[in-house]
Amino acid sequence: MWVRSEYAGELAVLTTWFAALIPWNVTFANLGDGALLFVRFPLFQVRYTFGVPIAAGIAVVDPLTATAFQRGQALELPYRLWTVGAGIFAAALVVSAVYYRREAWAESWPVDPVRLLGTLLLATGVVLAAATYFLLSRGFPGIPIPIGVVFLLLFGVVLLTVDRTE
């Protein structure tokens, strides 16, 4: 691949951290007399409301709280999937932090940490892609745009195809 073997570890850590900064889903919903903008990152959601009297302003919510709010509703499944994706992504962040701080130890693991991070990012992308599909198919207002899902899938594939021979 285009990444040299000696830089694969740095690429794995940086792509994982970069993925935390990219929203996996952005949705704008026009409600007639108001509008909502949801910007969902892997570990939290920012909701901006415009012209909606009962929910004005900005709200930041984690996946567990958002899922609890949707309990018993048609949108519970996509929010549960987001929670699963957030858990997988949190594991990737922990692995990347350990890999960054203790590279030699991580390189001695029975599994290659670059491949492990690639697998975790790819799995996160697949789960969040399913969540996006279910948001779209279950009547969520607006069209969810899966910006970060594309990056998660791309990063996962790149890390899984890096040549690790030295």
Per-residue model confidence as pLDDT tens digits over 24-56: 999 998 877 888 889 999 999 998 888 766 666
What per-residue confidence (pLDDT) applies to 54?
66
pLDDT one-digit tens code per residue, 49-101: 887 666 667 888 999 998 888 888 888 899 999 999 999 999 999 999 999 99
Structural domain including 79 reads 5-161
What per-residue confidence (pLDDT) applies to 123?
98
Name the nearest CA neighbour of 158 among 17, 12, 18: 12
Query: Which CATH number belongs to the domain containing residue 89 in this structure?
Result: 1.20.140
What per-residue confidence (pLDDT) applies to 10?
92
* Residue 80 within a domain: yes
Residues 6+ apart with CB under 8 A from 150: 125
- How far is 130 from 77, CA to CA, in rounded Å? 10
What per-residue confidence (pLDDT) applies to 31?
77
How many domains, in total, are found in the chain? 1
Q: What count of other Cβ atoms lies within 10 Å of the Cβ of residue 43?
A: 16
* Residue 166 within a domain: no
